[in-house]
Amino acid sequence: MKDSGAAGIGRAPGAHPERRVLFVVPRLVEAGGGSERLLSEIAVRLAAREDFAVEIATTCATSDATWENVLPEGRSVVDGIVVRRFATRPPSAASVGRTRRLLSRPRASALLDRLGWRPATVASPALADFLRATRRDWDAVVAAPCVHGTTATVVSEVPERAVLVPCLHDEPEARLPSTGRMLRAASRRLFNTVYERDLARRLHGEAAARGPVVGLGFDVPADVAPEAEVRERFGIEGDFLVHVGRAAPGKGVDELVALVRAHALAQPAEAVGLVLAGAGRRPAEIAPGIRHLGWVDERTKHGLVAASLSHASFSRMESLSIALHEAWLLGTPAIVGADSGLLAWQVGRSGGGIAIRTPEDLAAALRCLREPGRRAALAEAGARLVREEHAWDRVLGAFVGALPTFPATTSR
């Protein structure tokens, strides 16, 4: 999203929208997470309709590691949408450390949760004040993801208008009883996939899983760097795999690096390169043929994916996987971890790639992808699923149909 200054409301004079929707995300930055991108892209498309007025509320933080206030508080216009930023109250390093230790002990954390303990996460008292003051101004307040304090604030302050997009994956925070209470307390729940909804049901019961699958719409990326350009820029030769996304715990980057290294040692003549493109820490075992680029712009990212032999991910922390769907639309299949939950499910039902566990599995997958026509055929199978399930008309129709309706009394 692009900032266009501090004036205006992003709607033509004289327009009278029938419904007002506030989207709440923990951060709104270029290198943000998947949940922020999901809500911001829906917000932009909804704002283009004459029957909706859309605003976004977020924090002044740019990093989900520290949650420190970096950007200024206040009101601006981004992509024609009013964005309101509120100061955070970042959790202390000590409280984050305690949270990590407790979440590694599920029984202890579940017991403490019932006694009122909450994981250390971002909080914004100013955002809570804003929601209390304007609660009747909105037909719906849409928030994601469920593990951050900004979302808990929405469900706590405006439960009757709260539309929760959980972006749920199987992690310790998701299994806490408080997460189940949040899911049940929201007025509506919108899931990204059937897999995610089934996970909510398994963890927290039927009431927590009531809601439609909406997800995100996808267009074929139009701005793609040429293969020759990305190879020359980064010194890439030969076949390579690309992992797009943050190098964070649970994202499976270390496992992927170890597997590629083990395959290269066992079969050096068949070795494949690996490019890691995304924010986050640098994996510990970088070796020849493995490049950690950090965050790259969209054009470069798309060029890397299109030029690669395959997108590759062992992430267990997905409820949709934007990177996987974009790879398919760019004509690139996927190699995923067989134990990666959502990714393995997506690849299995679409036929858009290969699930692996061992270096031997990787060797077999590479041989398959190097056969004439196989790479393109697998990618097309995945792209077919994207076209069938993630067309923007379908996604926006499902989203609008799921929103609650109230007689909004706009006072601003």
Query: Number of folded domains in the chain?
Result: 2
Same domain flag for 260 and 369: yes
Can you give the pLDDT at residue 367? 97
Can you give the pLDDT at residue 93? 63
In one-letter notation, the amino acid at residue 78 is: V
Same domain flag for 161 and 284: no
83-92, 97-106, 170-179, 383-392: segment of lowest average pLDDT: 97-106
Same domain flag for 184 and 247: no
pLDDT at 232 over 90: yes
Can you give the pLDDT at residue 156? 95
304-331 residue pLDDT tens: 999 999 999 999 999 999 999 999 999 9
Average pLDDT of span 232-237: 95
Average pLDDT of span 134-160: 95
List, in sequence order, every residue forming a beta bridge with 55; answer none if it has no partner.
Answer: 22, 82
Q: Does residue 2 fall inside a structural domain?
A: no
**Of residues 411 and 256, which shows the higher confidence score?**
256
- Report which of 342, 335, 296, 298 is spatially closest to residue 319, judged by C-alpha positions: 342
Same domain flag for 238 and 160: no
Can you give the pLDDT at residue 58? 96
pLDDT at 287 over 50: yes
Please give the share of the chain, as a percent, with pLDDT higher than 90. 73
pLDDT at 18 over 60: yes
Same domain flag for 362 and 238: yes
- In CATH, what number is assigned to the domain containing residue 372? 3.40.50.2000
* Domain encompassing residue 383: 227-388
238-251 residue pLDDT tens: 999 999 988 777 78
Same domain flag for 255 and 207: no
Can you give the pLDDT at residue 282? 67
pLDDT at 408 over 80: no
| pLDDT, mean over the chain | 89
Q: Does residue 149 fall inside a structural domain?
A: yes
234-243, 249-258, 314-323, 364-373: segment of lowest average pLDDT: 249-258
Average pLDDT of span 261-286: 85
3-state secondary structure the chain: CCECCCCCCCCCCCCCCCEEEEEECCCCCCCCCHHHHHHHHHHHHHHCCCCEEEEEEEECECCCCCCCECCCCEEEEECCEEEEEECCECCCHHHHHHHHHHHCCHHHHHHHHHCCCCCCCCECHHHHHHHHHHHHHCCEEEECCCCCHHHHHHHHHCCCCEEECCCCCCCHHHHCHHHHHHHHHCCEECECCHHHHHHHHHHHCHHHHCCCECCCCCCCCCCCCCHHHHHHHHCCCCCEEEEECCECCCCCHHHHHHHHHHHHHHCHHHCCEEEEECCECCCCCCCCCEEEEECCCHHHHHHHHHHCCEEEECCCCCCCCHHHHHHHHCCCCEEEECCCCHHHHHHHHHCCEEEECCHHHHHHHHHHHCCCCHHHHHHHHHHHHHHHHCCHHHHHHHHHHHCCCCCCCCCC
Q: Does residue 151 fall inside a structural domain?
A: yes
Same domain flag for 156 and 37: yes
Average pLDDT of span 86-92: 83
List the structure tokens of 339: 């134990």
Same domain flag for 83 and 202: yes
Average pLDDT of span 349-378: 97
Same domain flag for 97 and 137: yes
Same domain flag for 150 and 267: no
Q: Does residue 295 fall inside a structural domain?
A: yes
Can you give the pLDDT at residue 8? 35
pLDDT at 4 over 60: no
pLDDT at 221 over 50: yes
pLDDT at 48 over 70: yes
pLDDT at 411 over 50: no
Same domain flag for 273 and 235: yes
Same domain flag for 330 and 253: yes
Can you give the pLDDT at residue 3? 53
Q: Does residue 409 fall inside a structural domain?
A: no
Residue 10's pLDDT band, with cuts at 50, 70 and 90, is very low
pLDDT at 90 over 90: no
Q: Does residue 14 fall inside a structural domain?
A: no
Can you give the pLDDT at residue 7? 36
Q: Does residue 410 fall inside a structural domain?
A: no
pLDDT at 207 over 90: yes
Q: Does residue 408 fall inside a structural domain?
A: no
